[in-house]
Structure 1
Amino acid sequence: MSARLLLAIVFVLLALPARAHKPSDSYLTLVTDGMAIDAQWDIALRDLDFAIGLDTNGDAEITWGELRARHEEIAAYALPRLAISTEGRACPATLTQHLVDDHTDGAYAVLRFRAECGGPFRVLHLRYGLFFDLDPQHKGLLRLEYQGKSTTAIFGTEKASQEFSLAAPSRLTQFIDYVGEGVWHIWIGFDHILFLVALLLPAVAYRFRQEWRPVDAFRPAFWNVFGIVTAFTVAHSITLTLATLGVVNLPSRLVESVIAASVVIAALNNLYPIFSERRWMMAFAFGLVHGFGFASVLADLGLPSDALVLALVGFNAGVELGQLAIVAAFLPLAYALRRTGLYRHLLLTGGSLLIALLAGIWLAERAFDLALLPS
């Protein structure tokens, strides 16, 4: 049973990242004065292309001309999938502008529209249904602004309809919202997950005469993992904070390429060890770069100016909770299987090879702007 559970966890983790970029998200910003709503909706071009076909000549590139020619179809597809109402009154949306913008994971169509609600309101109801019929994992990330205060939420198939009060959200509610977003984004940050998995795979073993041998007790394995996770946490918390506060910023392409390279190096280190006993040093060094990756996600979410520190701490706490969930699921099962050939050969050796191969493809994609895996 332990073998089957661990195999399931590892293969699910390895099967998730079929592409280098993060899964499908859209970004919806609503600004209201309590009478009407001005909105901006950023939707990934790759998702729209899958839904309605933007790449008319089939060259795997979406040009501005192709996008402009489909503006009406994009609006006709997206706007009916967002229903806005207030206290029993519908708020019909009128499109005002089409734009295009770049996010950390590619180009996005930008729809700006205004929704008139026919009178003052204090409660806003939203029903979100974009792409759910095509991708049940799609998420809509909302930021609602009223009188300088921000409320955030995540729409998914399980929470497609939500209600929001214009009363200022409590600090606790904002904190919990950003904790949830941190947990969600570590789970969809497949490169971060595989970096952590690559570091954890040999945690229940030690190197002796050029081969991995199982540890005799749980205690050394636990402290090994504790050192790795602590070093990674401290490092990425430092750069996440610095980048979010605008103290240090690095080009997104460089950051994403180095993150992919870190996964390759961590996986190959299991096969040809350089840091066999001090993997925490690798976790810390590359964790500094991973922090910039987390910061780009937090920037995409939109930070409330009135609660910047609260959002930063909540998001980082969510990331840590997501990491701990991975460790809590992985370590006990790995320890139970550490003496088996299944673990040493299939999971430790084979898993590391597979991680290195996949991350190597990501590295080529990110460094040279290629599309080697399906989007």
Structure 2
Amino acid sequence: MRRLLFLLCLLSSLCSLPANAHKPSDSYLTLTVEENQVEGQWDIALRDLDFAIGLDTNADGAITWGEVQARQKEIDAYALSRLQVSAGGQACPMRATEHLIDDHTDGAYAVLRFQASCAAIAGSVQVRYKLFFDIDPQHKGLLRLQYHGASITGIFSPEQADQTFSLQAPSRLRQFVDYLREGIWHIWIGYDHILFLLALLLPAVVVREAGRWQAVPAFRPAFWSVLRIVTAFTVAHSVTLTLATLGVISLPSRWVESTIAASVIIAALNNVYPLFRERRWVMAFLFGLIHGFGFASVLTDLGLPQDALVIALVGFNVGVETGQLAIVAGFLPLIYFLRGTWFYRRVLLMGGSILIAVLASVWFVERAFDIKLVTP
């Protein structure tokens, strides 16, 4: 009964998922330490700033350079009041020096360049980051700190808003763990990736005979079916995640995000009108190639140097796989337990697949045509 209630809650929760399943909110902070001065560049999404302080003054849905310029002082005050750089326990006063606009894979960003003057920098730098945490607890600040040619990376979250970075010997283990954690988090809040995976897993505990779904007789065939699907998806997205992060291949963000939404629709409808039948691993591989570009968006926008990029890439990918395996390990035993019931075949498999397809269709229209159908 507990398992049944869990699956009911899972199914109902699909209705409450945000319609906007784009890349999560991130900002990109680069700090370059030179003697007793820190040169900073902070890329902040215009959509996030608009939500926080209001940039679209004429409410036409488009943020212009003129509207950004008109609120530049407010942007500086808002951002710099939520960032503190310290050395030796003393805060380093900051001032804005330049303002630009840049395009990232998920839209336009305000670029704030600033200087922080410290009394003395010896051994380490402390950073306190609190941007958007009060209005968006899922926001992350991605840091690259440069000192004498070496690069240190960090990820700020509400739980890790205050961090100290040693300038003597960057810890590769810490960087790996940071990005492993980010990979796990990315898959858990990547609703489109999760629903694609669940749509592929739902038929794993049944087989289609004479036009009807029948429960598999044992766990073994279901396990091997899931293993093929997960392996194909993992191999595919690992390849494109690597190629995209290393800059070998680059695709437009809108095209990638729209295709990911389309993949969820196809995977879900395949459970209603089977096209791939027992070859769902082929679908997992083909669409996994596109999902890899979606996974790479965070690392691509961060623009890490080559040495730190390898560590970030491996850690992030391992994190994605860890989060993915956790989903499979929790979901597969539950659907296996219910595989022979009418509730599973009609409500979870058929009803759940249709619900996933409808939700993904909203994402597809929003992404492909850049319109908002549902307000979060």
Q: Same fold (TM over 0.5)?
A: yes
Distance 1:245 1:44 in 2: 23
Distance 1:16 1:125 in 2: 37
Q: Within 5 Å, give how 1:61-80 maps onto structure 2.
A: 61-80=62-81
- The verdict on how the C-alpha distance between 1:37 and 1:147 changes in structure 2, with shifts beyond 3 A counting, is same
Matched, 1:220 2:209: no
SS in 2 for 1:307: helix
- Give TM-score, length-normalised by structure 1: 0.94
Distance 2:220 2:15 in 1: 27
Q: Retained in 2: the 8 A contact 1:149–1:304?
A: no
Residue matched to 1:143: 144
Residue matched to 2:188: 187
Q: Retained in 2: the 8 A contact 1:34–1:121?
A: no
Distance 2:72 2:52 in 1: 14
Residue matched to 1:297: 298
Residue matched to 2:206: 205
Greater displacement, 200-209 / 228-237: 200-209
Distance 2:226 2:214 in 1: 16
Distance 1:131 1:211 in 2: 50
The amino acid of 1:181's aligned partner reads E
* Aligned-pair CA distance for 1:92: 1.2
Distance 1:13 1:146 in 2: 46
Greater displacement, 287-296 / 70-79: 287-296
SS in 1 for 2:52: helix
Distance 2:118 2:10 in 1: 48
RMSD: 1.8
Residue matched to 1:334: 335
The amino acid of 1:339's aligned partner reads G
Residue matched to 1:355: 356
SS in 1 for 2:4: helix
Residue matched to 2:257: 256
Deviations 1:100-134 (A, max 9, x none): 22222222222111111122322111222112221
The amino acid of 2:287's aligned partner reads F
Distance 1:47 1:273 in 2: 41
Q: Retained in 2: the 8 A contact 1:42–1:111?
A: yes
Residue matched to 1:59: 60
Residue matched to 1:94: 95
* Aligned-pair CA distance for 1:299: 0.7
- The verdict on how the C-alpha distance between 1:168 and 1:281 changes in structure 2, with shifts beyond 3 A counting, is same
Q: Retained in 2: the 8 A contact 1:34–1:122?
A: no
Distance 1:347 1:153 in 2: 41
Distance 2:239 2:49 in 1: 36
- The verdict on how the C-alpha distance between 1:34 and 1:222 changes in structure 2, with shifts beyond 3 A counting, is farther
- Give TM-score, length-normalised by structure 2: 0.94
Residue matched to 2:241: 240
SS in 2 for 1:84: strand
SS in 1 for 2:363: helix
Deviations 1:331-356 (A, max 9, x none): 11111222233322222112211211
* Aligned-pair CA distance for 1:11: 4.2
SS in 2 for 1:324: helix
* Aligned-pair CA distance for 1:71: 0.7
The amino acid of 1:91's aligned partner reads C
SS in 2 for 1:152: strand
Q: Number of residues paired by the alignment?
A: 375
The amino acid of 1:306's aligned partner reads D
Distance 2:10 2:326 in 1: 12
Deviations 1:212-246 (A, max 9, x none): 22222111111111100000011111122222233
Q: Retained in 2: the 8 A contact 1:22–1:188?
A: no
Residue matched to 1:281: 282
* Aligned-pair CA distance for 1:267: 0.8
SS in 2 for 1:158: coil
- The verdict on how the C-alpha distance between 1:88 and 1:309 changes in structure 2, with shifts beyond 3 A counting, is closer
Q: Retained in 1: the 8 A contact 2:44–2:110?
A: yes
Deviations 1:264-295 (A, max 9, x none): 11111011111121100000111111112222
The amino acid of 2:25's aligned partner reads S
Which segments of 5 or more consecutive residues in structure 2 lack a partner in the other structure?
none
Distance 1:342 1:113 in 2: 59
SS in 2 for 1:250: coil
Distance 2:217 2:264 in 1: 28
Residue matched to 2:177: 176
- The verdict on how the C-alpha distance between 1:164 and 1:366 changes in structure 2, with shifts beyond 3 A counting, is same
Deviations 1:45-103 (A, max 9, x none): 22211111111112222122111111111111111111211111111111011112222
- Aligned identity (percent) is 68
Greater displacement, 87-96 / 286-295: 286-295
Residue matched to 2:3: 2
- The verdict on how the C-alpha distance between 1:280 and 1:34 changes in structure 2, with shifts beyond 3 A counting, is farther
Deviations 1:180-228 (A, max 9, x none): 2222222232222211111111111111222222222111111111100
Which segments of 5 or more consecutive residues in structure 1 lack a partner in the other structure?
none
Distance 2:120 2:22 in 1: 42
Distance 2:349 2:321 in 1: 24
The amino acid of 1:331's aligned partner reads L
